[in-house]
Structure 1
Amino acid sequence: MTGRTPARHSLRLYGRTTELAALAALGDRVRSGRGAALVLAAEPGLGRTALLEQAVRDSDAGTVLHVRAAPAERDLPYSGVNSLLTGAPPVPDPPGEVPPACTSPTGLLEALRRVHAREPLLVCVDDAHLWDAASRAALGYAARRAGSLPGVGLLMSVAAHRADAADFAGLPVVRLGPLAEDPAATLVDELAEELTGDPADPNVREAVLHEAIGNPALLIAVVRRLSAAQLAGHAPLPRPLADGAALLRVVGSRLEELPVATRQLLLLVAAAQEQDPDGAGADATLLMRAARAAGFDPAALDAAEAAGVTRSAGNRIRFDDPLLLRAVLSGAALSRRRAAHRLLAAVLGGERHRLSRLLHRALAADGPDPALASCLAAAADSPDVRATPLERSVAFGRAARLTPPGSARTSRLTAAAEHAWFAGDPGRARDLLAAGRQESAHDAVRGCAELVRGTLALHDGPVGDAYEILMLAAALLGPYDQERMLTARLGATEAAWSAGDVPACLVALGGAARTAPAPGEESSTGERSPTEFRTPAAWPPGDRAARPGGDGDLFHDYRAGMLHALGARLDEARRPLRRVLDRAATDHDPARLVRAGVAALVLGNIAAACHVNARALAAARARNLVPLVPQILEHLAYAELRAGRHARARAHAEEGLRAAHRTGRRNSVAHHHAILALAASVEGAGEAVTAHAEAALAIAGPHGLAQAATLAEWARARADLGRGRAADAAARLGPLVRPGHRRGHFAVRMLAVPCYVEAAVLAGEPEDTATAVEEFAVWAAQGADPQAPAQLSRCRALLASAQETEALYEHALVRHELAGGDFERARTLLLYGKWLRRRRRLREARGRLRDALFAFERSGALVWAEQTRAELRATGGAGAREQRPGPLACLTPQQLRIARCVADGATNREVALQLSLSPRTVDHHLRNVFALLGVRSRVELSRLVDQAEKNRPDP
């Protein structure tokens, strides 16, 4: 057919930058008279058809042949080729020449040569894998020889599992994956605005994104299923959001191609995987036994594997696409699903399969069954049962459905939510908690539910809300469960710490626990003390030692130490915190090790903090404690930053960022971005600093993460300082370190004071730093940071008279030797070298600057190393004799530095501040530069310097 296929909806494409670039490159080749071929490969719903239609709309390369495969004609040889060429413009045959037949593998190639004879041609075939075999072979034959078809582009879309088939072998392939979160969220908002005029409610948007898992077609189907009130968050959402009909519309075509016997067996596979949809897959031996018991031939599953619906690995069978698993389950009649579960329960024997057997029995049940629910909950809670957190969550959730309303039901829903969070699925956890909130329950059970809800908010929500929820949990749990009450208080302390709220930290740490009521005493709900039902554990069975607060003495030492530290009484905090750190030597529990790492940082023992957090990471990985990994990596990366190990900090923060995204912990995402921004500010990656700082602040602002926000702003300021923009750095840091409502986080702002003092002095504003320096002196005397005494001497050297400065710099260098850390020592050496150069002590300056250069290079601080090289050149030392191309060779090192600064847009005053010169000296040098280079304006100078820098050979 000719012409262009209209779009099915008005939405534009999001998140497909790479794919659209590949289409643009194909179009460029065609317009330039060359031939090209490209295959777009994706599973249903990911947008391969939308991309192909976009290519048709954007094409301006002459004729477009666009056809979609007709599955009904797949048994007719060459039906696909003929349907394509039916729409081709007629081309008169030369006299005496017989038109080539399109019934041979080479027929399409010859036909395309004839069609494009007059103008460029774009051939688009949607769902090419559904063509008949002969047409597929002819299409692949022509595409592999696209280079012999000048001005012809062949664009095909195929199912992802068919992209490697022999028909398309050797062709360039662009594979489409699920949409990333940001473009998917934008698409949800556009759809909501199209339907209601307003973006979707944030909670609704999050639920839709979680349900669609990046599949645009399913995302569109889900949003268009919702009413305006539901999209606005004013009405409850349907459950499930994507029903069987929507799932089958999106991915059902892959199932329809399979034989009936294969589809029947797929229900068994899906039922076997229902308890752990993200796991390794169903046991193949179990499936074979169940299939034979039902009278099915297990070989029927071969067709599903050949079609790419399922995949075998070892003795496991799993669905290749999680949407297919959901489609099979939700698309089957309830009676058939229950029959499949009964069949699986019947073939599962032995103690090893107790949880799975009970769960299949529960999934086959047709109504409440308290006895079965109790057995299933007990198995899910048993430390002797080997199961993943998600399996335990599914088991507790099903047990709750079989339980009559009341405290036991709420308890089991809470346990299911807790294990879902532990499995890295906060969306499922919130849904389960919401279901439990509709039930009346005992205070102890309500306290457990609030503890889980507060933990979720602590890691993925406003920390102010998390604090209040966790304090409520502590109040509810206090009379019944001291251990979980302490867990809630520690969580509330963490929330208040993240928010920078010292009074709230003190309340969370210092509140006294209430006395438990006597046995049989009624709670505020009127129910008796909970002895007949289980309250959920704070951590999965088998890992009870991982509960925060599991050791009362440890908690009390930690609490006492932190109370003293928050009250600026570090001398009194040392003894209890040292006991916390000493216990860590023989502890293997990651949660307690993380607290020991915090204690080490407060004590100023940075090396111990790095070591303890590294041990915590190893222990968490060994126990597969998924939710703890992002937080531990955050603590470890921060400790490594404090130790000056910026490359290590970056590596761990990058890993932590990925883990935080996978487990839905946005607050941890913000902290990792802030750490990465700080690492980049040392390494000199300016764009990375900006990107990470903005990403951190985008979450830190709405979630109240004062610590992450302060770290991000400090990173921006340090990057400014490294590039010589002292005034910008001072303006950023001033509000953070000086008194006022914008003051930075209490545990971070003192660390930023040395940067602020340096920036303010270099910017010519030293008078603003006196208060900050005196406060820093008090803090440095407490020993909370081994670098602080050296940094204090450096700050005082910057502010001192000429007679005192040298002694202060020398004293700072002595303290640096005691504390270690190349980066901070190099910064002191750089400032000292600048001071010596200004006093014409060039030989001494070169020595200090050379030491600074090597230290910056060891630290990977590239932008600081470049600044130091410039200072060395100004002294006539190493680097001053670099070969400069063109007219710049006639400039002295100092004149070259000034010319480069002016070319960057700096005023004379800014140049003077940046190079530690007087404005009069800058003006004198600049007049000489203009005369030597023969330029009349700053614009001409900028052009000349830019051209010379471009021509300079890369060292």
Structure 2
Amino acid sequence: MTGTQTARSPLRIHGRDTELSTAHTFMSGLEHRTGGALVCAAGPGLGRTAFLERAVQDFRPGRALLVRATTADGARPHGGVRTLLRAVTGRWPHARPAAGTGQGSERSALLRLLHTAAAGRPLLLCVDDVHLWDPPSRTELGRCAALLRTSQDPVGLLLSVADHRAHDPALAGLPRLRLGPLDGPAAAALLGDLTDGRAAPAVREELARAADGSPRLLGELAAGLTPPQLAGLAPLPRPLADPATLLRACGARPAELPPATRRLLLLAAAAQETHPEGPGADAALVLRAAAAAGLGAPALEPAEAAGLVRTEGERLRFGSAPLRRALYESVPLAERRAAHAHLASASADAAALRLPHLVHRALAGDGPDAGLAGRLAAAARADGPYLSHEERSVALAVAAGRTEDGTDRATRLTEAADHARLAGRPARARELLVPVRALPAALPVRGRAELVHGLLSLRDGPVADAREELLLAAALLGPHDAAAALTARLAATEAAWAMGDAAAYVEALGGERSGVDAPADAPGARPVNAAPGVRGRLPDDYRTGMAAVLSGRLDAGVGPLRRLLARTEQAEDPEVLLRAGVAALVVGDLAAACRVNARALAAARALGRTTLVPQALEHLAYGELRAGRHPRARVHAEEGLRTAHRTGQRNIAAHQHAILALVASVEGDTDALTTHATAATAVAAPHGLVQVATLTGWALARADLGAGRVDEAAARLGPLVRPGPRQGHFAVRMLAVPCYAEAAVQAGAPDAARAAVAEFAVWADLGADPAAPAQLARCRALLAGAGGGRPAAADAYYEEARARHEDTVNDFERARTLLLHGKWLRRRRRPGPARGLLRDALVAFEGCGARAWTEQTRAELRATGDAPAGAEPPAAGRAGPLAELTPQQLRIARCVAEGATNREVALRLSVSPRTVDHHLRNVFAVLGVRSRLELARLVDRAEDSTAAL
């Protein structure tokens, strides 16, 4: 039965902004009498139907109808088109299909029917699952869609097809869009809708990962949980969904396939067990195994036609990871073992397939096999870049399953967990660690398990807990594995840094033995990671330099850290490079920091250490941010955020949100600032991320400052820059002082900033920030000019600040100095010199994309009598009564209409509150209004009229 509907209730769709924009552009063309068609392709469960329903809901200018195709429509020639004709006439009885026979008659009838149904108004006809129709119907519909593009009728066809049928020849030439899997934030937002916000954050993250971006599967998973499980108060079921649920959510019906096809699909699914998240199964291996099992290549064709699997080069790829998992787990264990036996036999003679061969042999058997498990573990540990961390993890986990000895089993599970961590699969890593604590194992093995768990907690959990786990791991490993103990202590320093606890950092760093260098083959040593950086040397320079810096002796730490940077800048290990990048940021070498962290990013990608990629992007974004290159920082942080979500690292994601909030505070994007600040705080508070909280507070305060809300900015920044129990992060406090000094002075409280500026002066002299000397001179200029106190000194400090900015690359900070100096000169009744500085500031702010500061600068220029590009139109171009206002009165009226108080207007326009009050009384008299509310309404109406013109 074919369904028709017009959407009535609100329909929220997440993660489809780009696709919806494309559809809205297509639909807006119908308003301008431009007909046409658009094809929407998506895999099963990815929301084709919901997308079409949303299009019907959003189509306002005319009529809209959604028709759902069914397999019954395609059972007879032209059945689909005839069903469509009936649906249209059923919805609009005045339209009647014209009778006719012969080739093209259905097409002609449909065109005439749509012309009649439209009746001169825009008409949107959506057909869902067109691929289910018969070939003649699809051909006629495709030709009809092509003809609509040149017709005079404002009729549009929005068609959906399964992803594997997107290139149907019948629809060739029609524009199309594709709905892919949802990303992490979109899946979390959808889950919030599905559960009314009752799902705990950790549960949301796990469900989103398990759903693999499928909205339908996400709904199935959420529906299968009890309220305590959703709230995180009860353990989640394992597995999260049974095979039948997975198959239903993926739109797969394997029982309808021929037996030979089902057996070949099982071989393909089993072949990918060695690398579940990889690029697909080795097609040649699968076909060799299929031939040995008496199956021919043609047996694959029904599965390809159903969209379950596709051939891409030398790989067989399933429609989704949950689909492959369901097809594998839905068959009895004996059949899975038989499939692995065929695969083991087919890979026996290939040297490049040694590890997969051993994995398949192990999965084909049952019970302990010490010899096979040992060979498999040795192959998984072998050097060679061709093996990914996931492949090593799978092999070690399978080896552990065939291991009887408790210590060896725990060791292999721990190594498997660490490789899963490096592959960006933290949930799998935690699962592998669960049985380790119940196994009898020696202290070194327990220590290595604690180390892996602590590293996982460091990226996704309370960092104070992670620090304690890592210190425990160091204590357990110290007498047995010096390299691993060193790794644990270094990770503990990262936790202390995130906590904002400098003393804890020094304690963890000082606990190591200077110059430790444990070779990989040291007696009793078994490195946790295959990565050489974990068992590499930590020079004394790093320990000495960072201990000095975190103890408040930056001058003593700079030399050792610079030596370290010079020796390690060309290293190839991403972990070594990341530490060198930290050293570069600490000593203020921003060019080296960006260069080294970019190299760390490239190395992490090249070596497949997926878990390090978002951290490298975070450090790279910090370097760009410190250099004032906000657009670059945004690009890196956005990619880092996506990668952090994909790899389950919420703490890293929170740092990326904080960076993006800082960028948004410069770019003036209020919505982005609110979104990122909220997301950062939601993780920072429960996980104890003091650095994230400080950066987020700084971002909000800087946005307040840019908008002229100086009181709010000073209130936010005061606790962050002053010493005390609520102080900000030790690495951020001094960076935020210039903002605080500006806010405090403009808020009329310069004395509150003097102590912070004095401390900033000491820090600036140490050379840890290239922009600090210029910012210090600017702060001193602000303090000297406060209340008109020492104008000559203020001028001299501003000149010094401008001169020092010439030696830095931070254009944003230079522009802020130019703006403040220009404001100061204008207030001193020197509009000529002010105008030149303000023009330079305007150009710099525009180049930085700093919209809020750009508007401030334009307002200052107008106040000097200049009229920069983008200024408000002359009086002749204003609407209605606003034309009677002077430029200054108009500026004040607009500020008041936005809700600003007289004091806020005065600060924003750099005039006195008394001046604002005087102008505002005149504005009321000219416009004939008696309240601020009436003024706001009048300004809004006038602005709307101007926009309409």
Same fold (TM over 0.5): yes
Pick from 826, 832, 835 the counterpart of residue 843 of structure 1.
832
> Relative to 1, partners in 2 of residues 1:831 and 1:65: Cα closer, same or farther, differing over 3 Å?
closer
**Is the Cα–Cα contact under 8 Å of residues 406 and 441 in structure 1 kept in the other structure?**
yes
Query: How far 1:400 moved relative to its partner?
Result: 1.2
Query: How far 1:748 moved relative to its partner?
Result: 0.3
Counterpart of 2:205 in structure 1 is 206
> Relative to 1, partners in 2 of residues 1:2 and 1:478: Cα closer, same or farther, differing over 3 Å?
closer
- Deviations along 1:711-754, one digit per CA (max 9) or x if unpaired, are 12212222222222222221221222234443211110111111
State how far apart, in whole Å, the 1-side matches of 2:562 and 2:396 are.
Answer: 41
Mapping 1:471-550, distance limit 5 Å = 471-511=471-511, 535=526, 537-540=527-530, 543-544=531-532, 546-547=533-534, 550=536
State how far apart, in whole Å, the 1-side matches of 2:406 and 2:575 are.
Answer: 32
Pick from 748, 754, 760 the counterpart of residue 764 of structure 1.
748
Counterpart of 2:713 in structure 1 is 729
Pick from 159, 163, 180 the counterpart of residue 162 of structure 2.
159
Q: Provide the identity percentage.
A: 57
State how far apart, in whole Å, the 1-side matches of 2:204 and 2:167 are.
Answer: 36
State how far apart, in whole Å, the 2-side matches of 1:146 and 1:306 are.
Answer: 30
State how far apart, in whole Å, the 1-side matches of 2:843 and 2:23 are.
Answer: 48
Q: What TM-score does the superposition give when structure 2 sets the normalisation length?
A: 0.86
Q: What TM-score does the superposition give when structure 1 sets the normalisation length?
A: 0.86
Amino acid at match of 1:551: R
Counterpart of 2:780 in structure 1 is 796
Is 1:874 the counterpart of 2:863? The answer is yes
Counterpart of 1:808 in structure 2 is 797
State how far apart, in whole Å, the 2-side matches of 1:684 and 1:368 are.
Answer: 63
- Deviations along 1:51-73, one digit per CA (max 9) or x if unpaired, are 667889999999978565245x8
Counterpart of 2:424 in structure 1 is 424
Pick from 699, 704, 707 the counterpart of residue 688 of structure 2.
704
Mapping 1:414-813, distance limit 5 Å = 414-511=414-511, 535=526, 537-540=527-530, 543-544=531-532, 546-547=533-534, 550-552=536-538, 554=539, 556-800=540-784, 801-802=789-790, 803-813=792-802
Amino acid at match of 1:426: P
State how far apart, in whole Å, the 2-side matches of 1:91 and 1:909 are.
Answer: 61
Unaligned 5+ runs, structure 1 = 517-529
Query: How far 1:300 moved relative to its partner?
Result: 3.1
State how far apart, in whole Å, the 2-side matches of 1:91 and 1:615 are.
Answer: 62
Counterpart of 1:132 in structure 2 is 134
**Is the Cα–Cα contact under 8 Å of residues 408 and 533 in structure 1 kept in the other structure?**
no
State how far apart, in whole Å, the 2-side matches of 1:932 and 1:229 are.
Answer: 64
Query: How far 1:863 moved relative to its partner?
Result: 3.2
> Relative to 1, partners in 2 of residues 1:673 and 1:92: Cα closer, same or farther, differing over 3 Å?
closer
**Is the Cα–Cα contact under 8 Å of residues 40 and 173 in structure 1 kept in the other structure?**
yes
3-state SS, counterpart of residue 167 of structure 1: helix
3-state SS, counterpart of residue 610 of structure 2: coil
Is 1:917 the counterpart of 2:911? The answer is yes
Query: How far 1:454 moved relative to its partner?
Result: 1.3
Counterpart of 1:342 in structure 2 is 341
**Is the Cα–Cα contact under 8 Å of residues 6 and 65 in structure 2 kept in the other structure?**
no
Query: How far 1:398 moved relative to its partner?
Result: 0.8
Is 1:400 the counterpart of 2:400? The answer is yes
State how far apart, in whole Å, the 2-side matches of 1:508 and 1:641 are.
Answer: 29
CA RMSD of aligned residues (A): 4.2
3-state SS, counterpart of residue 178 of structure 1: coil
Segment drifting more, 838-847 vs 706-715: 838-847
Mapping 1:70-109, distance limit 5 Å = 70=71, 74-80=74-80, 100=99, 106-107=105-106
State how far apart, in whole Å, the 1-side matches of 2:114 and 2:584 are.
Answer: 76
Query: How far 1:277 moved relative to its partner?
Result: 2.6
Amino acid at match of 2:359: L
State how far apart, in whole Å, the 1-side matches of 2:606 and 2:28 are.
Answer: 52
3-state SS, counterpart of residue 241 of structure 1: coil
Mapping 1:381-400, distance limit 5 Å = 381-384=381-384, 386-400=386-400
- Deviations along 1:341-396, one digit per CA (max 9) or x if unpaired, are 11121122143221111011011112222211111111001104731111111111
- Deviations along 1:388-437, one digit per CA (max 9) or x if unpaired, are 11111111111111112612112111111111121122221122122333
Segment drifting more, 119-128 vs 211-220: 119-128
Counterpart of 1:277 in structure 2 is 276
> Relative to 1, partners in 2 of residues 1:504 and 1:937: Cα closer, same or farther, differing over 3 Å?
same
State how far apart, in whole Å, the 1-side matches of 2:492 and 2:131 are.
Answer: 56
- Deviations along 1:486-543, one digit per CA (max 9) or x if unpaired, are 11111111111112122322222223579x9xxxxxxxxxxxxx999984x3333xx3
**Is the Cα–Cα contact under 8 Å of residues 884 and 952 in structure 1 kept in the other structure?**
no
- Deviations along 1:750-781, one digit per CA (max 9) or x if unpaired, are 11111111111112222322322222223223
> Relative to 1, partners in 2 of residues 1:274 and 1:56: Cα closer, same or farther, differing over 3 Å?
same
> Relative to 1, partners in 2 of residues 1:371 and 1:723: Cα closer, same or farther, differing over 3 Å?
same
State how far apart, in whole Å, the 2-side matches of 1:102 and 1:82 are.
Answer: 12
Counterpart of 1:376 in structure 2 is 376
Counterpart of 1:524 in structure 2 is none
- Deviations along 1:76-99, one digit per CA (max 9) or x if unpaired, are 4345556667778789999xx997
State how far apart, in whole Å, the 2-side matches of 1:187 and 1:98 are.
Answer: 41
- Deviations along 1:252-283, one digit per CA (max 9) or x if unpaired, are 63645644433322222222222113323333
Amino acid at match of 2:896: V
> Relative to 1, partners in 2 of residues 1:951 and 1:216: Cα closer, same or farther, differing over 3 Å?
closer
**Is the Cα–Cα contact under 8 Å of residues 114 and 155 in structure 2 kept in the other structure?**
no
Query: How far 1:929 moved relative to its partner?
Result: 5.3
> Relative to 1, partners in 2 of residues 1:763 and 1:102: Cα closer, same or farther, differing over 3 Å?
farther
**Is the Cα–Cα contact under 8 Å of residues 2 and 70 in structure 2 kept in the other structure?**
no
State how far apart, in whole Å, the 1-side matches of 2:566 and 2:668 are.
Answer: 38
Amino acid at match of 2:442: H
3-state SS, counterpart of residue 318 of structure 1: strand
Counterpart of 1:861 in structure 2 is 850
- Deviations along 1:590-637, one digit per CA (max 9) or x if unpaired, are 212222222222223333323332332333334333222211121122
> Relative to 1, partners in 2 of residues 1:304 and 1:934: Cα closer, same or farther, differing over 3 Å?
same
Counterpart of 1:367 in structure 2 is 367
- Deviations along 1:653-707, one digit per CA (max 9) or x if unpaired, are 2332233233222222221222222233333334333333233223222222111
Query: How far 1:945 moved relative to its partner?
Result: 5.7
State how far apart, in whole Å, the 2-side matches of 1:784 and 1:509 are.
Answer: 21
> Relative to 1, partners in 2 of residues 1:952 and 1:730: Cα closer, same or farther, differing over 3 Å?
farther
> Relative to 1, partners in 2 of residues 1:810 and 1:942: Cα closer, same or farther, differing over 3 Å?
same
State how far apart, in whole Å, the 2-side matches of 1:92 and 1:598 are.
Answer: 68
Is 1:311 the counterpart of 2:310? The answer is yes
Unaligned 5+ runs, structure 2 = none
Amino acid at match of 2:821: Y
Amino acid at match of 2:858: R
Counterpart of 1:822 in structure 2 is 811
> Relative to 1, partners in 2 of residues 1:41 and 1:806: Cα closer, same or farther, differing over 3 Å?
closer
Query: How far 1:185 moved relative to its partner?
Result: 3.7
Counterpart of 1:527 in structure 2 is none
> Relative to 1, partners in 2 of residues 1:572 and 1:269: Cα closer, same or farther, differing over 3 Å?
same
State how far apart, in whole Å, the 1-side matches of 2:511 and 2:126 are.
Answer: 70
